[in-house]
């Protein structure tokens, strides 16, 4: 079964322990200066955003059918059976299509490096494979970030919304958006305030949009070849007939003379 994270913004106290745990796990620098950064970047895979007294965590959503993995020409990104969307640095040639395609703007690039790579939350795949929770979930003191089975976490989110409807906006983010994600989010304030727009995101997985076109290619190639060959045959046959007729005519003319 596929693992997932449930983030409940109403439980988040903005302590940023998840950020620190993430940095330690991924061997990234972390200090007060970085902690104050509001956005994810090539050196910060998760961030706790603050709007007045509300907090909201952003990280890779680990889509069920990720656009980034679908667009990567060399298959440097892929969704593992466990849930994490991981990145193989040695394959990447740096076309950055993943960054352009991601509906959440998650993949970041090491712009300042001469030989850069893509950076993003990879949901601690080694820990997850060993049955351990992600570093962020382990670091969270309040249970705002919880690790578990995706199906069970969705059920739990539904239960929390059902039990305390006044605490939450009536939406579970990540169940349906872009075909579902492995990070499930519930919140007390509108998701839009923190840059997520459930209304604007299609329910279909994004790779379907390109696959609809791409899947026609195997049919198109032989069909197009046959059509072009046919047109060539017709246009040149006409010419041959004309030439043959001309020759016959000249022969006849020669014979009568």
Q: Rule CB under 8 A: which of 24-53 touch another protein? A: 41-42
Residues with Cβ within 8 Å of 191's Cβ and at least 6 positions away in sequence, in order, are 169, 171, 173, 185, 197, 198
Regarding 201 and contact with another protein (CB under 8 A), the answer is yes
Query: Binding residues for another protein, how many (CB under 8 A)?
Result: 59
CB of 77 to another protein, least distance (A): 9
DSSP 41: B
Length of the chain: 257
Residue 3, helix vs strand vs coil? strand
Contact pick of 142, 210, 248, 251 for another protein (by CB under 8 A): 210
Q: Where are the beta strands (DSSP E) in 65-209?
A: 77-79, 85-87, 108-109, 118-119, 145-149, 183-186
β-bridge mates for residue 119, sequence order? 108
Q: Rule CB under 8 A: which of 137-176 touch another protein? A: none
Torsion angle, alpha carbons of 20, 25, 27, 31, to 10? 10
Regarding 243 and contact with another protein (CB under 8 A), the answer is yes
| Nearest residue (CB) to another protein, 129 versus 241 | 241
Regarding 109 and contact with another protein (CB under 8 A), the answer is yes
Please choose, from the candidates 191, 169, 210, the residue with its C-alpha nearest in 3D space to the C-alpha of residue 69: 210
Regarding 91 and contact with another protein (CB under 8 A), the answer is yes
Contact pick of 29, 111, 163, 253 for another protein (by CB under 8 A): 111
Task: For Cα atoms 79, 80, 84, give the angle at the middle one, nearest 5 degrees.
Answer: 75
Which positions touch another protein (CB under 8 A)? 41-42, 67, 70-76, 91-97, 99-101, 103, 105, 108-109, 111-117, 197, 200-202, 206-207, 209-211, 213-214, 217, 220-221, 224-225, 228-229, 231-232, 235-236, 238-239, 242-243, 245-246
């Amino acid at each position: 079964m596929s693992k997932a994270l449930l983030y409940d913004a109403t439980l988040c106290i903005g302590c940023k322990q998840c950020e620190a745990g993430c940095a330690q796990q991924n061997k990234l620098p972390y200090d007060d200066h970085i902690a104050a950064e509001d956005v994810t970047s090539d050196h910060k895979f998760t961030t706790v955003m603050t709007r007045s007294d509300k907090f909201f965590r952003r990280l890779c959503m680990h889509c069920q059918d990720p656009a980034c993995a679908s667009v990567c020409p060399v298959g440097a990104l892929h969704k593992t059976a466990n849930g994490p969307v991981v990145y193989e640095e040695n394959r990447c040639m740096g076309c950055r299509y993943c960054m352009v395609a991601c509906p959440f703007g998650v993949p970041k690039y090491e712009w300042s490096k001469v030989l850069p790579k893509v950076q993003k939350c990879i949901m601690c795949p080694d820990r997850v494979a060993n049955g351990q929770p992600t570093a962020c979930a382990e670091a969270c003191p309040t249970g705002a970030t919880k690790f578990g089975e995706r199906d069970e976490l969705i059920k739990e989110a539904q239960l929390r919304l059902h039990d305390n409807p006044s605490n939450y906006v009536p939406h579970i983010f990540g169940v349906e958006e872009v075909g579902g994600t492995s990070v499930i989010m519930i919140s007390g304030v509108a998701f839009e305030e923190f840059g997520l727009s459930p209304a604007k995101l299609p329910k279909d997985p994004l790779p379907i949009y390109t696959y609809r076109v791409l899947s026609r290619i195997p049919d198109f190639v032989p069909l197009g070849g046959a059509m072009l060959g046919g047109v060539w045959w017709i246009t040149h046959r006409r010419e041959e007939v004309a030439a043959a007729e001309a020759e016959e005519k000249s022969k006849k003319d020669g014979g009568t003379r």
